[in-house]
Structure formats: structure tokens, C-alpha cells
Amino acid sequence: MMENDPGQYTGAEDVRWRLEDLYRGEDDPALDADMQWAASAAEQFSAKYRPGLAHLDGRGMAEAMLALQEIRQCLSRVGSYRYLSYVTHSDDPLRGAAMQHFQEQATAIENRLVFFEITLNHLEESHVAALLDGLELAPWAHLLRRWRLFGQHLRSEGEEQILAEKRVTGRGLWERLFDETLTELRFSLGGKTLTEQEVLTRLSDPDREVRRAAAASMTCGLESRLHTLTFCFNAVLADKALDDRLRNYPHWLSERNLANEISDSMVEALEEAVVSRYGLVARYYRLKARLLGVSPLHDYDRYAPLPGTARRYSWEECTRIVLAALEDFSPELAEIGRRFFREGWIDAALSVGKRGGAFAHPVTPDAHPYLLVNYTGTVRDVMTVAHELGHGIHQYLARKQGFLNADTPLTTAETASVFGEMLTFERLMREETDPRGQLALLCGKIEDTCATVFRQIAMHRFEAAIHQARREEGELSRDRLAEFWMRTQEEQFADSIALTPGYRWWWSYIPHFIGSPGYVYAYAFGELLTFALIRKYRRDGAAFVSGYREMLGLGGARSPAEVVGLTGVRLEDPQIWHEALDYLQDLVAEAEAMVEKECGNASGT
């Protein structure tokens, strides 16, 4: 067990990914060679298929899909390398320029292929149905039907090409400016200069004064760049509104829901269910205020460890715990997980120029996924590693579907990650023998779930409000954005959390609002769906594992309802959300019972 100082050695300081599995380095001639091949292949594809695409039979269409997949996979491999190299060195202008150059080249190549989906969506329904009934197109049937759903939102080939070019020099550059602004931002705390990730870690410090100072430092840093960050928000909001108008999407979330293969009504049911249970958030934080002996609890107290229970985990401990949790569930999945740690597929070290947060990147089926985390040794970091490893295993298993079919809609993309977290949480609970430690772990899990379910839905409601306001009111001031932020945050906390004045600016550092509009509800979707899967696993035991393994291996080759259905869970049933929230309510009740028992024991002694 390590000391509590977040700057203490964890063993993750030298854990860097091996991008040599993709290319030897920034100057590897294979990078240019692959781009040249993709450009040439795209020209040949266009020359071969543009004249007679509408008249292809099933076999010809299947051959076209394979050729298209090969081109796009080649582009993705180069793009993955450029992106992964950039996110760990985003302060290096040469890597930023290389990524921008790739995006411009890739857009030009993709523009030679855009005719394919446009022509496909102009085919008569009866002709497409006949093609999809054949065995030759069976592997592509679901994907082609998905593409057809976007038909009414596609423009002409020339217009699509302009829109693609515009994105590279429009929203894409605003996203890059946002990322680089936060990466270069430094926060002053206790005489030290910290990165965003380092100052956020201090919000889990057992010393309340350290937490308060960290929050103030975070606010001060954000305020120093608020003009730029607000401008980035407005640019992205305006760009999204323009795209939606040009493509005839009825509202700001339509495109995301279509991509997620989920109906508007299902998203609304999820939101309504979560909002109806906001009382659970206040109920838990009132309990935590009691445990901390603090009244009122402030926003910087939300992730405070319980007194006498703070501990840190070395990278070696984290690795053991996460893999042991997987081994308990499935030795096969655990063996895949070991490869990430053993073969350099993870970047865990804190470093200057590295972006904050965490992600899993699938790369391409002919390679392997990569994971990025910023490891400081907290139990929350252990859970983050479990989360991203779940994504990575999911992506690894889905590779067999091929590049075009491996990508998973957000509706099911968070399932394996949250499932991995739950397995790790249960393993930690089994290993912990001290009742205070068990209570701390349980409270941490409740807090993470509140952040994943309630906070993400609150952020979804914030995002919906600002997209609507930008379309109705024009450019939004930082104060107007803060007004929406505070209103949607206060809804979930009620009177259980006192929000400090500086918290009004904390919308400005969240990357999903910039890079992936409409993304965040998927976290709540995935968390609650996973609760349903965990309940099913507890009922069915080992019999559940094969269906779960098959589900992950399907990737995006079938609809989310079909994929989840392999485990025996019905995704279409809106009652699923209420039952999952009942599970969370049980966790809160368990924590309350543990506190009462501890208090009873204390009074008895």
C-alpha cells in the first residue's frame, strides 16, 4: 500500500504504449506509402464502381464492400497512429501538424468514395431487399440497412464533399484548439504547477483544505482561458446547428440517436427514469455529509475519501486486481486482458503534453486496441483501468467482424467497460476485510454510479439546453452557459450539495461537449444496462458467460437489441431503467445499513 500523496511513485511512470506495433515512428516511410496506396485504391474504386453500382448483383456488391473496407481500414490505421502519437504529445506542434495533414489527406480520399453511399441510398427498396436476401451480402446486411437509414439526410455528392472539407477546417480545428488549450493549461496549487489531471486528482484528497484549494485552482485556471473555451463552445454549437439544418435533422440529437440505433422515445424514457430518481443523489450525499462530519457538503467534497480509509494502489496491485476480477468471470477474457498489460497496449504515465482523462481506441482489426489512462493510484483510477480494459477487450473481440462491422454503437459500447468496473468492484469488496474499508468501497461505487448515471444525464440536459438556446438566441455568453450549467447541476443535487461560485465555469473543460455532441447519455445508458446484465449474471451464473462473450464478439454487426438479447435481457423494455435504478437504490440502502451497524457497534463499545 502506498502513501496518500498523489505525486507518490505508483509504478505506472514508465507504462507507455508501443506504437511501433503500428509504425516505427513519425518518419516511418510506411505512413506516406499507406496514404498513397489508399489514394490510388480510392481512384480505382471510383473508376470501377461508379458507372454500374446500381446494377451490381449480390456478389458484385459484396466485392465492392470488401474493397471499400480495405481502403478505410488503411486510412484508419494511419489516422490511429497520428492521433495516438498526438494525444501523448499534444504540446508538440509537429505532431499536431502531422495529424492535421492526415485529416486533410483522408478527407480528400474519402471524398472520392462518397458516391458509394449516396448511390446506395438512391436504389429502390425492392432492389436492395432482394440483394440483402442473398447469402453473399449476409455479413453486410445490417450495416447496409443502417446506411440506408441516413439516406434522407444525405446531400448530393458535391455538397457532401464540401461538408467534409468544411469539417476539417471548421469544427475539427475548434476541437483541436479546445484540446490544446486544456493540455497546455497549468494550475497553481500549494506552490506547485499542475496539469488538469493532477489538480483534479486532488479533489479526492482526504484533506478538505487541499480539496477546497484544488477546486479554487481549477476554477482560476479555467477562468484564465474562459474567453477561448466559450468561443470554442459557440463555434461547435453553431457548426452543429448548421449541419443539422443542411441535413434536415429535426432536432439536435437526431443524428446521434440514429447512429446509436436507438429511438428518440427510448432516450426520453431513459432521461425521465433517471430524473425521476434524482432523490437518490441527495439521499446518498446527505449520508456522506454525515460520514464526513461536514455540513453543508460542497462540490469539492463529492469524491472525498471516508476518514481513515484513504489508500492508494500501485500499478502492480491495480493490474493484479483487475485481471483477477476478470479471471473470476472468464479465464478467456482475462487472458486477452493480460496482453494489454504485457505487450505495451496501455499508456498510464502522467506526462507533460498528454491529454487528461481516459479512453480506449480500437485502431483496426489487423492491429489491436490501445488504452490511455492517467494513473495516480486512487481506487477510482483502478476502476478507470477496469473500465477502459473492458472497452479494449470488447474492441479486441469485435475485430473478427472486420473493420466496417466492428464499430459498436454507443448504446452498447459502454456495456463491457461498466461490466468490467462492476467485476473489479466486487473483487475489491471480497478482498477488503475491514468494515470501514468495505463501506468506503461501497460509497465510492455509489459515487461513481451517481457520476455515470445522474451527472451524465444532468450534463445531457445541459447540452440539450445550450444547443436549443444557441439556435434560438444566437451566440451564448459565458454567463448564459453557466446559467444552464448551474440549473441542470442543482436539479440533481437538490439541497445535498452546496455549489461554490466558481463551479459555474466547470462546464468549460468537458471534452465530450466539443468533440462528441450528444454522447454523454450513452454513459447512463451503458451503466444501467450493465446493472441489468449483472443481475442476470447473478441469477444464471456460468450459463450467462457464453452469451455475454458472444455479445461482445458481434461488435456492430447486428442491432443493439439483438446483441443484448443474446444474454436474455430485453433492451426494448422501458422498465429496464427503473429496475436498474432499483439496484442502485439497494446499494444506497446497503451503505445506510452499514453506517447504522457501525454506529450501533460504536455505541455498544
Which CATH number does the domain housing residue 96 bear? 1.20.140.70
Residue 314 near residue 11, CB atoms below 8 Å: yes
Residue 143 near residue 405, CB atoms below 8 Å: yes
Residue type (1 letter), 283: R
**Cα→Cα distances 13→201, 314, 326, 567, Å:** 16, 11, 24, 39
Cell numbers representing residue 274 in the block: 433517471
3-state secondary structure 467-533: HHHHHHHCCCCHHHHHHHHHHHHHHHHCCCCECCHHHHHHHHHCCHHHHCCCCCHHHHHHHHHHHHH
Number of domains in the chain: 1
Q: Which residues of the chain have pLDDT under 50?
A: 1-6, 603-605
DSSP β-bridge partners for residue 29: none
What backbone phi and psi angles, to 5 degrees, belong to 474? 90, -160
User: DSSP strand E in 391-449: where?
Assistant: none
By residue range, what is the domain housing residue 109? 19-169
Does a structural domain hold residue 30? yes
Q: Helix (H) and strand (E) counts for the chain?
A: 28, 5
Does a structural domain hold residue 346? no
For 160-176, the pLDDT digits (tens) are 899 888 888 888 899 99
Does a structural domain hold residue 42? yes
Euclidean distance between CA atoms 270 and 580, whole angstroms: 11
Query: Reduced to 3 DSSP states, what percent helix, strand and coil does the chain have, rounded to the nearest 5?
Result: 70, 5, 25
Does a structural domain hold residue 292? no
Q: Is 312 in a helix, a strand, or coil? A: strand
Query: Which residues make Cβ contacts (< 8 Å) with residue 119, sequence separation at least 6?
Result: 50, 53, 54
Q: What is the pLDDT of residue 2?
A: 39
- Sign of the dihedral defined by the CA atoms of residues 276, 493, 200, 424, in that order: negative
Q: Is 294 in a helix, a strand, or coil? A: coil
Does a structural domain hold residue 98? yes
Cβ-count burial of 51 within 10 angstroms (0-12 exposed, 13-18 middle, 19+ buried)?
exposed
Query: Which residues make Cβ contacts (< 8 Å) with residue 260, sequence separation at least 6?
Result: 409, 410, 411, 522, 560
Question: 165-175: string of b/e by CB count within 10 Å (b at 16+)?
Answer: eebbebbbebb
Euclidean distance between CA atoms 50 and 128, whole angstroms: 17
Does a structural domain hold residue 222? no
Altogether, the residues listed in the chain come to a count of 605
DSSP 305: P
Query: Which residues make Cβ contacts (< 8 Å) with residue 405, sequence separation at least 6?
Result: 139, 140, 142, 143, 398, 555, 556, 557
∠ at Cα 388 (382, 394), nearest 5°? 135
User: DSSP strand E in 160-307: where?
Assistant: 187-189, 192-194
Does a structural domain hold residue 82? yes
DSSP H or E segment with residue 361:
strand 359-361
Q: What is the pLDDT of residue 3?
A: 37
Euclidean distance between CA atoms 131 and 145, whole angstroms: 11
What backbone phi and psi angles, to 5 degrees, belong to 188? -90, 125
Asked whether the bond before 574 is cis by omega within 30 degrees of 0, the reply is no
Does a structural domain hold residue 122? yes
